[in-house]
Structure 1
Amino acid sequence: MRHLPYIAILATLFISCQHKQNDFEVQKELKYCEQQARKTLAQIPNDSLFPRSISKGKTNWDYVDRADWTSGFWPGILWNLYQYTGDKLFKIKADSATRELASNAYTASFDHDLGFMLYNSFGNGYRVTKDSSYKKVLLAAADSLATLFNPTIGTILSWPSMVKKMNWPHNTIIDNMMNLELLFWAAKNGGGQKLYDIAVKHALTTMKNQFRPDYSNYHVVVYDTTTGRVIKRITHQGYSDSSMWARGQAWAIYGFTMVYRETHEQKFLDFAQKVANVYLQRLPKDLIPYWDFNAPDIPNAPRDASAAAVTASALLELSTYVGEKRQSENYFDKAIAMLKELSSSKYQSREKNDAFLLHSTGNMPIHGEVDVPIIYADYYYLEALLRLKEIENTHKLKF
């Protein structure tokens, strides 16, 4: 699990003796994830295929190749399970799956998702093993991602394919906040100040242009490449251009929390709280969002467990940075409540299939992966559990 040291240092500042986990047993849920992952390992045809989602009525995964934006999540899961269990089987399989993705770092940058692909795989691998060959790939990937940065606009081009397909001269999607982590890591590990500056500028420009007055975000902002001005703000996966797409808001909460961690600039911490607060204020009682907060068929709209998992992991981290005790505890408590619900029989796959979680929604407007297990939901669910485990361990040492 990446970024645990900051939790070990900061968790004791805010967790009081009153914060007991009650009936939530994180160790039990981690064991469940381990058991489910072993099922997938027994089924996966070879290491060049990566689980993405499970279609309705199926028990096994549908697989993608290395070029898919989700390819890094499965190796990341394996690395995190290796760290948790110490079982060398997970290390062997993680290494093999990770190395299958190496060529993505040396291909002319075709997408902003190099962070998802390579930081979740090679990044977790390097954190656990310190293998120098992983570091080399990560630095190459960061350099490739940086080629998509437009200094006139101040953001990374998210989808090069949409320039011609949709006549979007320079498009930036909120998901891209997640891929800045690769640049920050590279800047600290030999890549140079330029990568840090690109990541910060992207975050600042996104903060300025991609949010409404209530701090909900637009999925896509399209820019003029000559002047840098905003042409339009639209959605691609949300209900409408003016709606709050659940996973997009989750990416924003996670992304700006991470940017604060890397920069220690108060404005990013303040902003992370604002985008988190509007999300929390509009959640249903069980804290698992509908795929879009403005979906017209609520309460019958599909849920998105992936957005809940991303947010739970982000809130655990965010709670360690917030100085105001009540707010810090609110974020922590909400994260626990989300994890409890995701760990219930309603959302866990158990005997139904090989995934960790049910009821995620990928791309509702095109009816893609609606109300099914999706690999990134599993990745962030496991990440959140491991973050909580580290916090619990620190809590026990403190009290």
Structure 2
Amino acid sequence: MYWNSRQVTEKRTLPFAASTRDTARAALGVAAGKVERLAEQHPDYFPLYTHEGRWKHGKESWTNWCEGFLGGQMWLFHELGLGDQWRARAEHYSVLVEQRQHDRDVHDLGFVLCPTWQKWAELDGGTEQKKVVVQGGRTMALRLNDQGGFLRSFLAPDSNFIDIMMNIGIIALAALETGDDNLMAIARRHCDTTRKYLVRGDGSVSHEGIYDLGTGEFLRQTTQQGWRNDSSWARGLAWSLYGFTSMYALTGDTHLLRTAIANADYWIEHTQADPVPPNDFDEPHPTRPWESSAAACAAGGLIMLAALVEDDTLAQRYHRHAETTVRRLCEPLFLGIDPAWEGVLKHGSYHERKGLGVDESVMWGDYFFVETLARVVRG
């Protein structure tokens, strides 16, 4: 989401096999068809997850965080030249989320505004679009718990989610655009707190950290969506891998790069048998074998990381695993080829503990899958 705004120069460009690029192009065609039907059948509707393969239902959302992913896919289809209709649609769905730049209730403004308004700004160089992103970054920065040095999650003021690493970049973008050193200090402070208390020595991560509101002292690791408090929730690791890589690209802070490398090494070590993991790496008998949205996000993070690391051997390792993941996700088992299935990427999961969107398509999974496919066809 932040890649085109990187401050760190790529070390290399690694090619994908022609067959992988062809497979990715075909999958993008499937995705564009799914999104087009969604826009036609349910205009101005922002789904979160499918129920029995259908986007339209009245089930719980838990929080309000996915509205940027539909317009984000449209911008990618436009950028890739998949049809003249995508530009107008992308602009329209971006305008629908414009007021979220002032939303102080969620920690996910990066998810909402970067696939839409940041991408719009990158493609057009528009100052008006950048203003929306800057305001979104300033709004996100208001979540800072100054004593603890973290941005609080939507759930509680003493809570820091690993998910916020996917959103902290909007504050860094606002800082870079305006020259506001205080904003950048907030973004980097949150990263430092997160890597200190939520990223473990083996590269795995905790979903959530809890802090003392009086002193800012870190108290414990816990989880909302993993198997148990000391386990490794797969999507949380993907958030961390992608988020720390993005923040390294924006800041050049090698501490963040080392964290991303640790995340990537843990991810690859635990996805050798199948690049698509279950919901939690540590659960001994997973209820379901796959959480595809985690794999889609991790693949994108690995592609970025491969372009940034100094070590050629590491770069090749990350690139190969990303390519293997993409090919796996393009198989009929995961790609929603069946017209009756309305989502793009099957076997995703939103919230297993709450029973929300389990073994379904999820909007962020579709977005990160499309974003990763776009990286492949360009590579």
Query: Which TM-score applies when normalising by structure 2?
Result: 0.92
Identify which of structures 1 and 2 has the higher relative contact order when contacts are C-alpha pairs closer than 8 Å and 6+ apart. Answer: 2
Q: Provide the C-alpha distance between the structure 1 equivalents of 2:20 and 2:315, rounded to a whole number of angstroms.
A: 21
**Alignment-derived partner of residue 117 in structure 2:** 122
Q: 1:296 aligns with which of 284, 307, 311?
A: 284
The alignment-based identity, stated in percent, is: 25
Counterpart AA for 2:325: M
Deviations 1:10-52 (A, max 9, x none): 36x3637xx63445523222222222222222212x32x2122
CA distance in 1, matches of 2:330, 2:171: 33
Measured after TM superposition, the shift of residue 192 of structure 1 is 1.4
Name which of 150, 154, 157 aligns with 2:152.
157
* C-alpha contact (below 8 Å) 1:2/1:127 kept by paired residues: no
Residue 371 of structure 2 is aligned with which of 367, 383, 388?
383
* Cα deviations by residue, 1:366-385 (Å, 9 ceiling, x for unpaired): 11110000110110011111
CA deviation vs aligned residue, 1:268-316 (integer Å, no higher than 9, x gap): 1111111111121112522100011122324x52411000000000000
| 254-263 or 126-135, larger mean C-alpha shift | 126-135
Contact 1:76/1:94 (<8 A) preserved: yes
Gaps of 5+ in 1: 164-168, 392-399
Equivalent residue number for residue 72 of structure 1: 68
1:232 match: secondary structure? strand
Equivalent-residue separation in structure 1 for 2:122 and 2:20 (angstroms): 32
Distance 2:7 2:341 in 1: 33
The alpha-carbon deviation at position 335 of structure 1 amounts to 0.2
Q: RMSD of aligned C-alpha atoms?
A: 2.3
Task: Measure, in 1, the Cα distance between the counterparts of 2:95 and 2:14.
Answer: 39
- Residue in 2 that maps onto 1:394: none
Unaligned runs of 5+ in 2: none
Q: What are the superposed Cα offsets for residues 70-117 of structure 1, whole Å, 9 maximum, x if unpaired?
A: 11111111111111126342111111111111222224x112111111
Matching of residue 81 in structure 1 with residue 69 in structure 2: no
Match of 2:246 in 1: 258
**Partner amino acid for 1:94?**
A
Tell me, yes or no, if the aligned pair for 2:235 and 2:279 is still in contact at 8 Å.
Answer: yes
> Which residue, out of 138, 141, 147, partners 2:136?
141
Secondary structure of the 2:350 match is strand
Q: Provide Cα deviations, 1:140-176, integer angstroms capped at 9, x if missing partner.
A: 21111111112211111112xx33xxxxx42100000
Give the superposition deviation at 1:350. Answer: 1.0
Q: Read off the aligned partner of 1:304 and give its amino acid letter.
A: E
Give the Å deviation of 1:228: 1.5
Counterpart among 100, 108, 111 of residue 106 in structure 2: 111
Task: Give the structure 2 partner of residue 270 of structure 1.
Answer: 258
One-letter amino acid of the counterpart of residue 266, structure 1: T
> How many residues are treated as equivalent by the alignment?
375
Partner of 1:15: 14
Q: What is the distance in 2 between the residues matched to 1:110 and 1:143?
A: 13
Aligned to 1:397: none
The aligned residue for residue 94 of structure 2 is 98
Instruction: Work out the CA distance in 2 between the residues paired with 1:374 and 1:230.
Output: 32
